[in-house]
Amino acid sequence: MLNRSHRRAAAHSTPAGHVRPGRRHRGATLIEVLVAVLLLSIGLLGMVGLQVRTMAYEKGSAVRAAASNLVSDMSERVRANQGAGASYVSTGTYAALSAASVTLPSPNCYTAACTPAQLAAFDLANWRLSARSQMPAGVGAVRNPRAGLYEVTVAWTDKDFVDSAGTLGTTATCTATTTGIAARNCCPDFLTVVAASGVRCAVATVSD
């Protein structure tokens, strides 16, 4: 009788330091769940980061498209208003143009007859209002570098224009030797763009 009880007790006991198979399986399952949660979290963070970058790219593309359209629009206005190109000339620093108030002059050239000079003033005000509404801190300027030639510029602040350290970028200043694509994306010296301000520019030249 004692011998049978001893054998039953021995059958249900485990050696010291030995983990029963059921406990070991439950522990392995818990680790697998934790690993799966970690991998899922990493994947979700990657998706969020990708979405943020995509949204920033789309926003930047929309602003650059608006800048291109604005430059083309003013170039056409200058070209169409024959002989009044000098009336479109209006420059200033980026900071001054950003802070200046813009109002539409009278008469309204959409509904009333205007002289070439009045039309130029009306075009310029409308254009600058459009730049402000379509681009962050958007400004527009026109200068006359030489007889019969006009340089149309729009500039804006791009918060996503940063370097690897997260510092706002600096757009190169246009020079007499700047050509090609660089000449269409540099900032004219009269804007006096502050370094590391994230300001971008789009430039086009037009003959009247």
Span 40-60, pLDDT tens digits:
888 777 777 666 666 655 566
Amino acid letter, 159:
K
Give the pLDDT of residue 75.
Answer: 96
- Rg (C-alpha) for the chain, rounded Å, is 34
Reported confidence tier of residue 2, pLDDT bands at 50, 70, 90: very low
Tokens 């359209």 -> residue: 69
**Sequence spans of domains, the chain:** 63-207
Look-up: residue for tokens 């590391």?
196
Give the Cβ contact number of residue 29 at 10 Å. 10
Determine the distance from the C-alpha atom of residue 141 to the mean position of all C-alpha atoms in its chain, rounded to a whole number.
21
Q: Is the dihedral of CA 208, 94, 114, 67 positive or negative?
A: positive
H-helix or E-strand containing 206? Answer: strand 199-207
Q: What is the C-alpha to C-alpha distance for residues 198 and 194, in angstroms, rounded to an integer?
A: 9
Q: CA torsion, points 106, 111, 113, 114, in degrees to nearest 10? A: 40
Task: Convert 2-20 to b/e letters by CB count within 10 Å (16 or more is b).
Answer: eeeeeeeeeeeeeeeeeee
Q: Is the pLDDT of residue 3 over 80?
A: no
pTM value?
0.73
pLDDT band for 6, please (50, 70, 90 cuts). very low
Reduced to 3 DSSP states, what percent helix, strand and coil does the chain have, rounded to the nearest 5? Answer: 50, 15, 35
